[in-house]
Chain A
C-alpha cells in the first residue's frame, strides 16, 4: 500500500450504496408510522381506516429502499 492510498475497500461497494439508500426511506417510514399512531391515539374510531392508508403509504416508501437493494444485484 503506497502513501497516496488513504483508505481501501475490498468487496462490493454497492453494499455501502444500499446502506445510503436505506436512510431516506427509513426516515420516511418513521414519520408515517409515528404520525399514524398519533392520529390513532387522537381518534381511535378512525383507526382501521388510518391503518389502511398507512399501509399504502408504507408500500410506496418501501419501494425506494428496495430499489437500492435491487440495484445491488443489477449493477
Chain B
C-alpha cells in the first residue's frame, strides 16, 4: 500500500531481512562431517517425531472404554482418516490393510507441516524435498506391490500400460505416457505438491513479517509504521492460512496415496 520513497530507503541503509532459499539449507549443528550431520530442519523432524510418539503412546496407554475429552479428540482424527479417507475411496474390504499406512502418512505429514507455524521451530519439517520424497516412494512401492499381488505382474502392467477400450494405434502414444505416469509422474507430483506448498508458505509468512519488522523497527517514520502494522496483520492472517494449508496438504497427500493404491486393484466390470 505505502511505497517506501528512495530517501527513506537510503536513510535506513539496510533493507528488510527477506527470506531466501538459504532458509531451507541450514548449516549442520551436530555431528558435522559425518553422514549423520543434523541441521535445524532434521532436528525439527526428530522433535516432531518424538511429539507424535509421545502423544499417541500416552493416549493409547491410558485409553479407556469411556473416552476422556482428549482421547475423544485423538480418536476423532484416527476415525477421520479411516472413514473419510481410506474407506470412502477403497471401501472397507480393500481398505482395512492400508489404514495403518495412510494414518501414519497423514499424521506425520500433518504434524511436520504444522511445525512451520509453531514459534521456535518456524520451519515446516516437510519443506525440504527429502521428506515428501520418502512418503512418495513409500506410496510408489505400495501401489506397485499391491498391483502385482492382486493381479500378477503381467495383467497389472497390461491394465496400466494398455488400457482396455482404446483403438490400438493410440497405444503408440498412450503407452509411454502411462509408463511415465506410473513410475515418475505420480510420485514426483506427490513430492512437489507438498514440498512446494510448504516452501511457498514459509516464504509468504517470512516476507510479511520481515517487512513488518523493517517498517516498524528499522524505519523511524510513524506513517510508515502504519504500513508495518498492516504487514504484521497480513503475516498473522497468512499464519492462520498456513495452518489451514498444512491440514489440507496432509489430507490431499493421504487421499491421493489411497487413490493411487486403489487404482492398482483390478477394475471390476
- Which A residues fall within an 8 A CB radius of B? 48-49, 52, 55-56, 58-60, 62-63, 66-67, 69-70, 73
Contact = CB atoms under 8 A, between A and B. Distances in A.
Contacts of B193: 59, 62-63, 66
B169 to A, nearest CB: 27
Contacts of A49: 88
A59 B253 CA distance: 9
Instruction: Classify the interface of chain A: helix, strand, loop or mixed.
Output: helix
Interface string B48-84: 0000000000000000000000000000000000001
B196 A70 contact: yes
Contacts of B199: 69, 73
A66 B196 CA distance: 6
In which size bucket is the chain B interface? Answer: 10 to 19
Interface in B175-227: 189, 192-193, 195-197, 199-200
Nearest to A64: B189
Nearest to B89: A52
A56 B21 contact: no
A42 B10 CA distance: 59
B137 interface: no
Interface string B82-99: 001000110000000000
Given A48-B88, A66-B197, A55 B192 contact: no
Nearest to A65: B196
Contacts of A66: 192-193, 196-197, 200
B38 interface: no
A52 B256 CA distance: 10
Nearest to A67: B192
B259 interface: yes
A66 B192 CA distance: 7
Nearest to B193: A63
Contacts of A58: 252
B106 interface: no
Contacts of B84: 48, 52
Contact of A70 (B192, B251, B255, B259): B192
Given A56-B252, A69-B196, 20 more contacts: A52-B84, A52-B89, A52-B255, A55-B251, A56-B255, A56-B256, A56-B259, A58-B252, A60-B189, A62-B193, A63-B189, A63-B192, A66-B192, A66-B196, A67-B192, A67-B196, A69-B200, A70-B195, A70-B196, A73-B21
